[in-house]
Structure 1
Amino acid sequence: MMKLTKKRVVLFLLFIFPLICFLILSTGKNNFTKLPVVTKGVVDVSTLDTLQTFKDRISIVCFLGNDIDTQKGGFFNLNEKIYKKFIEYKKFQVIAIYPKGKEEEVKQLKKEISAFTDMVKWNFVAGSKEEIVTLHGSFNSGNALSNLYTSNVFLIDKNGNLRGRLTDADSKDGKLIGYNMNSVSELNAKLKDDVLVLFYEYYAAFKEKNENKADRKEVGL
């Protein structure tokens, strides 16, 4: 009988258990709850930088504001709890919006974060006050920016729609539209799970599409 060692338990928790969860979620059609669209067709980040886009990407969007230095804790939380978990996923990115004129502060933030991770999927985008307010306003989150900053980060799907929760037990009206990056528990228990659900949703759609193609081929269509 195989001895249940501490090493085997750790290996199971790190590799085998997540794989089992993935197989359960990805088997069959529509056997998991899709993440709700809470706002359709938000303003694309290409309006600030033509080299960037939300299209065909799963994006986490954050707003750095005018006082970047005092808000660093949340960005480190986002990097550790979310970015590092999904850096290997294709089509994943973090979009960090900051006001024009704050390039030096952004440079310092990037330097500090890069000491712990590869920044390849962090994209920093500068915009005017008007552009930033317009972009954030298109999310219809119900919360205004403060000094062009918010502790909430937002999840945008490949079609440029804002995703979130409509039946969140911890929210007053049940809606969770932004995720508080100052809350490690919220990042861990909610945003991470919701990003996974979104990836599984696209995986299931891709799988179903290929199965339908195979079925049509078999019947000569």
Structure 2
Amino acid sequence: MKKFFVITVLFALPLVAYLFFASGVNNFARLPVLNSEIQPLEEFESIEGDTVSFENHITILGFPGSKPMDYLTNAYHLAEKIYDPYSEFKDFHFVSVVPEGNEEEIEKLKKELSTVIGLKKWKFVTASEEEVKQLFESLGSNLELSEDLSTPNVFIIDKDAKLRGRKDDEDVGKLYGYDTNSIAVLNNKMNDDVKVILAEYRLELKKYNEKRKK
């Protein structure tokens, strides 16, 4: 009986553990949608001359403000912790929205960033102050822009132009944006959430490919 009990435990525990974690993955595999009505980007002007859109892209959206060089440390944090590990994923890009008239500062910021990363997937767009405010307000977050129209927080926008985040973050409740001042937030929260949304789309692509084969 003792041998039977030991053998049962040895086989049963791994199975129970697997089922537990598998159910957890199924339950938490999708990053929650926090807002489905975000202003489109198409009317904004890209200083690189590219068409920039939320549609069909996973976008990390940021607001460096009218003094982009003051955002350099935050940009470095993002470059190291998020951009560099994930920039090679298809349809993944960064978009930074800056008020018009600050193009020289943007070029300085780009020059500094280009010493540590390639900027192919990091787009800078300009717009009027009012348009920048409207885009930010359309996110429907509980955050605010500073007087220079900047925020240290960046936002995850999915391929359907929906804001993603956390509904029950242990620290702030609803987590709309990720504070680039905090290495801990980028390492532990944003990094995990970017992994989740990328895995979500990989799973959808896998299912689509399997259906096509049938």
Pick the TM interval, shorter chain.
0.7 to 0.9
Separation (CA, whole Å) in 2 of partners of 1:208 and 1:68: 42
Instruction: Tell me whether 1:152 sits opposite 2:148 in the alignment.
Output: no
Q: Which residue of 1 aligns with 2:204?
A: 205
Q: Which residue of 2 aligns with 1:123?
A: 123
CA distances 1:75-110 after superposition (whole Å, capped 9, x unpaired)? 111111110011111111000111111011110000
TM-score, normalisation: structure 2: 0.82
Post-superposition shift, 1:213?
Answer: 4.0
Gaps of 5+ in 1: 1-23
CA distances 1:105-134 after superposition (whole Å, capped 9, x unpaired)? 110000000011111101000110011001
- SS of equivalent residue, structure 2 residue 98: strand
Gaps of 5+ in 2: 1-20
Separation (CA, whole Å) in 2 of partners of 1:82 and 1:118: 13
Q: Which residue of 2 aligns with 1:35?
A: 31
Q: Which residue of 1 aligns with 2:15?
A: none
Kept in 2: contact 1:63–1:153 (CA 8 A)? yes
Kept in 2: contact 1:163–1:177 (CA 8 A)? yes
Letter in 1 for 2:199: Y
Match of 2:44 among 45, 48, 56: 48
Of the structure 1 ranges 67-76 and 79-88, higher mean CA displacement relative to structure 2 is found in 67-76
Letter in 1 for 2:187: N
Q: Which residue of 1 aligns with 2:82?
A: 82
More strand by share: 2
Separation (CA, whole Å) in 2 of partners of 1:200 and 1:31: 14
Post-superposition shift, 1:195?
Answer: 0.9
Kept in 2: contact 1:37–1:161 (CA 8 A)? yes
Separation (CA, whole Å) in 1 of partners of 2:76 and 2:35: 27
Kept in 2: contact 1:41–1:159 (CA 8 A)? no
TM-score, normalisation: structure 1: 0.80
Percent identity over the alignment? 40
Kept in 2: contact 1:30–1:204 (CA 8 A)? no
Separation (CA, whole Å) in 2 of partners of 1:110 and 1:161: 27
- SS of equivalent residue, structure 1 residue 90: coil
Post-superposition shift, 1:166?
Answer: 0.4
CA distances 1:136-162 after superposition (whole Å, capped 9, x unpaired)? 010011222112100100000000000
Q: Which structure's CA Rg is the greater one? A: 2
Q: CA RMSD in A?
A: 1.8
Kept in 2: contact 1:62–1:154 (CA 8 A)? yes
Letter in 2 for 1:45: L
Q: Which residue of 2 aligns with 1:7?
A: none
